[in-house]
């Protein structure tokens, strides 16, 4: 019976096996291909923007709608998902965060089986796709996002190995091999085992490292990809990698004017669509750059500009929108 299964008409049975498909399937399971929002660079940006939004000064007659927790969540959502959706609950004068949503044929929102008018939905978007849903910043750099996910996921998978120092021995003794194997399975931690290799009449011990050995080239490529991703997300690299006091202050100034303030314009625009009238500024963040703004004011005045206009442009005085 066994021979009949192994041979057919006297010839070995041919087993079809596509090595390329097998490798592709293996890699698909090994490397992370999840949502862009799971990337560490995106989470770094979400944390920085979210916390900065929580410190924003929200003013105006409807400021109570945009509380610090709401602002923090909006900031995180814009970086990770490209949109933040909330139901405006008049009964509680509070915003309720929305998870999944869809549109009806009439342009209304369908949320948890119920339909809502767009006049009751605060929908802040970074960018919009053809269906009117938000697009996160890193999606505009699709190749970079995929590259980062493969590197980050690959290194994470490689790191998911036993961590231990041990002393190994080749042995043909099955009980000993079984004991060693059982110990190896418990090596996700700091465990180690000691075994000995007999060389002639001498008992010799050999040290063995069990764990990932990440290639330096992959680490460097990942570091570069993360820096580029943070650039796409609008985060000055000095806020992540550190630097001297001057570079940190300049980075906060750059973050405020090139990312935070443009994003607040998107928030204010979306808020007006649901009759929430607010002003948003970052005076508390900008206070760290008083010296820089004072120097800018001095330069503008020395250049012939009147003091009030120079102070406004340098950010030393706040002008209410009309």
What band does 321 get if pLDDT is binned at 50, 70 and 90? Answer: very low
Is the distance from CB of 233 to CB of 45 less than 8 angstroms? yes
Angle between helices 68-80 and 40-54 (to 10 degrees): 150
* pTM for the full predicted model: 0.70
Buried b (16+ CB within 10 A) or exposed e, 289-320: beebbeebbeebeeeebeeeebbbebbbeeee
What are the backbone angles phi and psi of residue 209, rounded to the nearest 5°? -95, 125
Helix pair angle (245-255, 290-302), 10° resolution = 80
Q: What is the pLDDT of residues 138-149, one digit of tens each?
A: 988 888 888 888
At 244-288, the pLDDT tens digits run: 777 887 888 889 989 999 999 999 999 999 999 999 998 777 665
Counting every residue written for the chain, the total comes to 322
Asked if pLDDT for residue 188 goes beyond 60, the answer is no
242 dihedral zone (left: phi>0; alpha: psi -120 to 50; beta): left
User: Hey, CA dihedral for 280, 232, 128, 118, is it positive or negative?
Assistant: negative
Tell me: the pLDDT tens digits for 75-121? 999 999 999 999 999 999 999 999 999 998 888 999 998 999 999 99
Q: What pLDDT sits at residue 42?
A: 93
* Residue 53 pLDDT grade (very low, low, confident, very high; cuts 50, 70, 90): very high
Name the residue with higher pLDDT: 75 or 317.
75
The better pLDDT of the pair 260, 204 is held by 260
Give the pair of three-digit tokens for residue 225. Answer: 């990809």
What pLDDT, on the 0 to 100 scale, is given for residue 240?
87
């Amino acid at each position: 019976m066994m021979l009949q299964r192994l041979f057919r008409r006297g010839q070995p049975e041919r087993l079809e096996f596509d090595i390329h498909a097998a490798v592709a399937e293996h890699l698909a399971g090994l490397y992370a291909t999840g949502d862009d929002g799971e990337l560490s660079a995106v989470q770094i940006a979400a944390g920085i923007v979210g916390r900065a939004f929580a410190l924003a000064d929200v003013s105006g007659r409807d400021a109570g709608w945009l509380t610090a927790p709401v602002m923090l969540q909006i900031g995180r959502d814009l970086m990770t998902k490209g949109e933040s959706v909330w139901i405006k609950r008049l009964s509680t004068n509070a915003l309720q965060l929305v998870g999944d949503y869809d549109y009806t044929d009439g342009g209304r929102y369908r949320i948890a089986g119920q339909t809502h008018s767009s006049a009751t939905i605060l929908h802040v978007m970074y960018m919009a796709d053809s269906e009117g849903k938000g697009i996160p910043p890193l999606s505009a750099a699709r190749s970079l996002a995929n590259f980062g996910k493969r590197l980050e996921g690959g290194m994470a998978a490689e790191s998911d190995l036993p961590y231990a120092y041990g002393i190994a021995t080749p042995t043909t003794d099955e009980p000993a091999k079984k004991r060693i194997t059982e110990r190896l399975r418990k090596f996700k931690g700091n465990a180690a085992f000691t075994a000995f290799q007999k060389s002639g009449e001498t008992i010799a011990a050999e040290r063995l490292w069990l764990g990932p050995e990440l290639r330096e080239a992959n680490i460097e490529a990942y570091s570069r990809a993360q820096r580029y991703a943070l650039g796409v997300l609008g985060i000055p690299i000095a806020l992540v990698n550190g630097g001297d006091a001057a570079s940190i202050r300049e980075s906060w100034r750059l973050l405020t004017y090139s990312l935070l303030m443009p994003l607040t314009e998107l928030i204010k625009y979306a808020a007006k669509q649901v009759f929430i009238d607010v002003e948003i500024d970052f005076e508390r963040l900008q206070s760290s750059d008083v010296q820089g703004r004072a120097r800018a004011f001095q330069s503008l005045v020395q250049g012939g500009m009147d003091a009030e206009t120079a102070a406004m442009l340098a950010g030393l005085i706040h002008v209410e929108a009309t």
